[in-house]
Structure 1
Amino acid sequence: MPRYARAEREALADLLLALGPDAPTINEGWVTRDLAAHLLVRERRPDAASGLLLPPLRGYAERVRLRLAARPYAELVAQVRRPPVWSPVSNPLADELVNTMEFFIHHEDVRRAGPGWRPRELPPGLQAALWKRVGPLARLTLRRFPADLYVQAPGHGEISVGRGGEPLRVVGAPAELALFLSGRQRVARVQLDGPAAAARQLRNANLGM
């Protein structure tokens, strides 16, 4: 069975080491050190990880992240590369399901912040795995968008979501749709077909979690 989560984790760790602690990411205000610390909060600090989703706890999660970010950078990356087996999100039973899209997206957060980047040629199996996660993500992030949205990955399928209105189609490879729907619209290679105003609103919407 392919282990796409492990492959993306290893590739991200290699890139983090190659670029060093102060390289840019596409996450506003974050450099590579910040991104590495975020991943450690998610995997190693269950007391703070809920703050990644729950606004009342975000202050605590950020304080924990900043303390982690102050550690030696090589240590941070080593811990990203080798997650604890006890972690709810990275144990062997959960890893592929929970981390395939997570680590693909964060790998691209670093890759696409540099000059001259191009989309990677991804294995068909990875694109298929990402497509399985695009549907739930689309329903979560676009359910209130004021249009009939059709999220389409040629060769994989189509999902309809939104609150109704003029139709707007979002077309791209599963990997690009995953980036778009997680709030990385400015670097995602997707095509929007429909009313210009709705397309502009979607490109500038605060998507992701």
Structure 2
Amino acid sequence: MNRDESWTVIAEQRGAVADLLADLTDAEWDIPSLCAGWRVRDVAAHLALAPQPPGPFTMAAEAIRAGGRFHRLNHDIAVRHASRPGADLVTELRQHAGSRRLPAVTNYRNTLFDVLVHAQDIAVPLERPLVMPIRAAAAGATRVWTMGWPFWARRRLRAVRLVATDTDWSAGAGAEVRGPIAALLLLMTGRRAALPALSGPGAAQW
């Protein structure tokens, strides 16, 4: 997928997440997401913040507060932003859905898989279907497989060959793991909720 196609999907996914969140109960906002240690509201806050990143001085202060740990920094910023009413997060997602603004440390390829995966982090535990576009999922899977940090998918899954059943995509070598490309992307980013959708000799190890 090229840049413009990717940004179109990013905007659509942000809008779809906003629509999904719009009628949540207070209890649903606090349901644990698929992202370990993050509630639905925390993931929503992370997605809302992505197109409105803090400035360099704020980020430097946050990094010091988090002891230089990226995951802690990411989590803490999201949790603080998540303290506002859910309706405000929905408004922000809609208002900035089409924004192409990015934090200095990332790019649109990372933002694409980030919004795809985090949308499922919210939708799956809420048991509300949210479609992940196949071409976008394949692009995200390729990016995650080749990028190394922070998922190290190629290293963690070095004993298996991943094969998509709904598009022409595969990676790795070893015992075959088959499934929809969306499930493979979730597996590569550490979401065990993908396992029921996977099959093949390699899937037996989990």
TM-score normalised according to structure 1 size: 0.69
The answer to whether structure 1 residue 75 and structure 2 residue 115 are counterparts is no
**Amino acid of the structure 2 residue aligned with 1:88:** L
1: CA distance, partners of 2:116 / 2:10: 8
Q: 1:39 aligns with which of 13, 37, 47?
A: 47
Q: Is the contact made by 1:151 and 1:170 (CA closer than 8 Å) also made in structure 2?
A: yes
1: CA distance, partners of 2:182 / 2:203: 24
Q: Is the contact made by 2:45 and 2:79 (CA closer than 8 Å) also made in structure 1?
A: yes
1:110 equivalent in structure 2:
122
Q: Is the contact made by 1:20 and 1:32 (CA closer than 8 Å) also made in structure 2?
A: no
1: CA distance, partners of 2:203 / 2:84: 48
Q: CA deviation at 1:57?
A: 4.3
SS in 2 for 1:74: helix
Query: Which structure exhibits the higher relative contact order, with contacts defined as CA atoms closer than 8 Å and separated by 6 or more residues?
Result: 2
Compared CA separation, residues 143 and 82, structure 1 to 2 (3 A): same
2: CA distance, partners of 1:112 / 1:36: 14
Q: Is the contact made by 2:44 and 2:89 (CA closer than 8 Å) also made in structure 1?
A: yes
The answer to whether structure 1 residue 88 and structure 2 residue 102 are counterparts is yes
1:12 equivalent in structure 2:
17
2:134 equivalent in structure 1:
127
TM-score normalised according to structure 2 size: 0.70
**Amino acid of the structure 2 residue aligned with 1:153:** A
SS in 2 for 1:156: coil
2: CA distance, partners of 1:55 / 1:134: 28
Q: Is the contact made by 1:38 and 1:65 (CA closer than 8 Å) also made in structure 2?
A: yes
RMSD: 3.3
Q: 2:156 aligns with which of 123, 126, 145?
A: 145
2:113 equivalent in structure 1:
101
Q: Is the contact made by 2:177 and 2:201 (CA closer than 8 Å) also made in structure 1?
A: yes
Q: CA deviation at 1:10?
A: 0.8
Give the unaligned 5+ runs of structure 2. Answer: none
1: CA distance, partners of 2:184 / 2:178: 8
Deviations 1:13-51 (A, max 9, x none): 111112145422223343322112222443323444996
Q: CA deviation at 1:131?
A: 0.9
1: CA distance, partners of 2:70 / 2:180: 35
The answer to whether structure 1 residue 170 and structure 2 residue 177 are counterparts is yes
Compared CA separation, residues 45 and 119, structure 1 to 2 (3 A): closer
Compared CA separation, residues 136 and 13, structure 1 to 2 (3 A): same
Q: CA deviation at 1:101?
A: 2.6
Q: Is the contact made by 1:22 and 1:31 (CA closer than 8 Å) also made in structure 2?
A: no
Give the unaligned 5+ runs of structure 1. Answer: 162-166, 201-209
